[in-house]
Copies of this chain bind each other. A is one copy, B any other.
Amino acid sequence: MTTEHQTATMVYASADALREFAAQALMRLDVPEEDARIAADILLESDLRGIDSHGITRFEQFYVTGIQEGRISPRPTIQTMSEAAATALVDGGGGLGMVVGYRAMQIAIDKAETAGAGFVTVCNSRHFGIAGYYATMALDRNMIGLAMTNSGPSVVPTFGNEARLGTNPIALAAPVGRGTPFVLDMATSTVAAGKFEVAARKGLPVPPGWAGDEQGTPTTDPRLARNGRHYSPLGGSPEMSSYKGYGLGVMVDILCGVLSGAGSSRQLQQRGFVGHFFGALNIETFRPLADFTAMMDDMHDDLRNTPPAAAGQRVLVPGDREFATKAERLAKGIPLYPDTVESLRRLSQSLGVPIEL
């Protein structure tokens, strides 16, 4: 993820220290301690898994400023507006997306405990960080977990020339008997915004097909691509079936936006909130957990042992890279870019929460 040149200028900080800092900072902003710790854990889990674009780098911009400017409520009333044995609609009360998401996923899991399945759609929430966190919450309860969110428009429908969809990610996690669990966590666009930032920091072009500039003209300049809000849906081009990535993005909008009333990606512009969707499937209501996890292990072995396309290549299972990064970062610390270090020092000063970097 980082070049040698940059590694020299990176600062490494322990996840524990950053997590504590983020929690304390949120508490200074009037977020209750339990909620602050939930949000900080989700934020740092993103850094640990290597999804830097959703971690501490965005803490100030997405969350602190949001609370300070009144767009995010530090003490939201999170309410179940309607429910059945296996479903619920939750109003997030304009709170931190991580807190709203955590509570809503807990409801899905609790419902799945008795009904076998729990599916919860959420309105009036805010940016919730990585979808994969909520999906993996199900694993400790021996469930399959699902999480999605919509977001403001940046993705262009196939044959169109204006953004109508968010990057609308889908995450699914499933438990295993040995090794790391299955965790798919993917934007339904070819790439999410973070990849443009990484390329821009490295001064490298991005592949053709990822995005267009503001006019929709294809570009390989990561800054033009990042700001152009003409990202391609997964597939990249009509010839390569981008209508599928586009269709998956709309699916996410239906489940997160239309089912909850939050609005589809484009409607969010007027409404200012986002919607989420969470699901849990209780494996033991289908068949014995040990049978399920043994078959997961066989499948994972089988996938990882696929003959490689070229020497030095290796087939991974979704989640492998993230958990390898997590192990590495738990040992070595989280690498922070100079501008992130600056942002954290600024927050430390203004909020009066000490940090050592």
Residues of A whose CB lies within 8 Å of any CB of B are 81-89, 111-112, 114-119, 121, 144, 156-162, 164, 170, 172, 174, 182, 184, 186-187, 190-191, 207, 209-210, 216, 234-236, 239-241, 243-248, 250-251, 253-255, 257-261, 263-264, 266-267, 281-283, 285-287, 291-292, 295-296, 298-299, 302-303, 306-310, 313-318
Closest to A242 in B: B234
Contact B121 A119 (CB under 8 A): no
Q: A306-B161, A309-B159 are in contact. Are A85 and B116 (CB under 8 A)?
A: yes
A257–B303 alpha-carbon span in the complex (Å): 14
A254 touches which one: B111, B157, B174 (CB < 8 A)?
B174
Contact B258 A207 (CB under 8 A): no
Contact A119 B281 (CB under 8 A): yes
Contact A258 B174 (CB under 8 A): yes
Closest to A230 in B: B309
A236–B190 alpha-carbon span in the complex (Å): 11
A296–B257 alpha-carbon span in the complex (Å): 10
Closest to A261 in B: B287
Taking CB atoms, residues of chain B closer than 8 Å to A84 are 114-117, 282, 285
**How many copies altogether?**
2
Taking CB atoms, residues of chain B closer than 8 Å to A306 are 156-157, 160-162, 164
Chain B's nearest CB lies how many Å from the CB of A120? 9
A159–B239 alpha-carbon span in the complex (Å): 22
Contact A235 B302 (CB under 8 A): no
The DSSP consensus for interface residues of chain A is mixed
Taking CB atoms, residues of chain B closer than 8 Å to A317 are 250
Cβ contacts A to B, 9 pairs, < 8 Å: A82-B286, A86-B86, A89-B287, A117-B118, A160-B307, A184-B250, A234-B241, A243-B316, A243-B318
Taking CB atoms, residues of chain B closer than 8 Å to A85 are 85-86, 114-116
Chain B's nearest CB lies how many Å from the CB of A297? 10
Those 10 A-B pairs whose CB atoms lie nearest each other, nearest first: A84-B116, A87-B116, A160-B306, A86-B86, A84-B285, A86-B117, A184-B247, A264-B299, A247-B318, A85-B115
Contact A308 B117 (CB under 8 A): no
Taking CB atoms, residues of chain B closer than 8 Å to A314 are 159
Chain B's nearest CB lies how many Å from the CB of A109? 13
Closest to A158 in B: B315
Taking CB atoms, residues of chain B closer than 8 Å to A258 are 174, 292, 295-296, 299
Closest to A293 in B: B258
Closest to A248 in B: B184
Taking CB atoms, residues of chain B closer than 8 Å to A285 are 82-84, 87
A114–B254 alpha-carbon span in the complex (Å): 22
A267 touches which one: B243, B299, B318 (CB < 8 A)?
B299
Closest to A165 in B: B303
Closest to A299 in B: B264
Chain B's nearest CB lies how many Å from the CB of A53? 15
Chain B's nearest CB lies how many Å from the CB of A238? 9
A283 touches which one: B159, B216, B259 (CB < 8 A)?
B259
Contact B308 A160 (CB under 8 A): yes
Contact A89 B286 (CB under 8 A): yes
For the A-B complex with A87-B281, A161-B306, A234-B241 known, give 12 more contacts whose Cβ atoms are closer than 8 Å: A83-B116, A117-B117, A159-B308, A160-B307, A160-B315, A161-B309, A182-B250, A184-B251, A207-B240, A210-B240, A234-B245, A259-B287
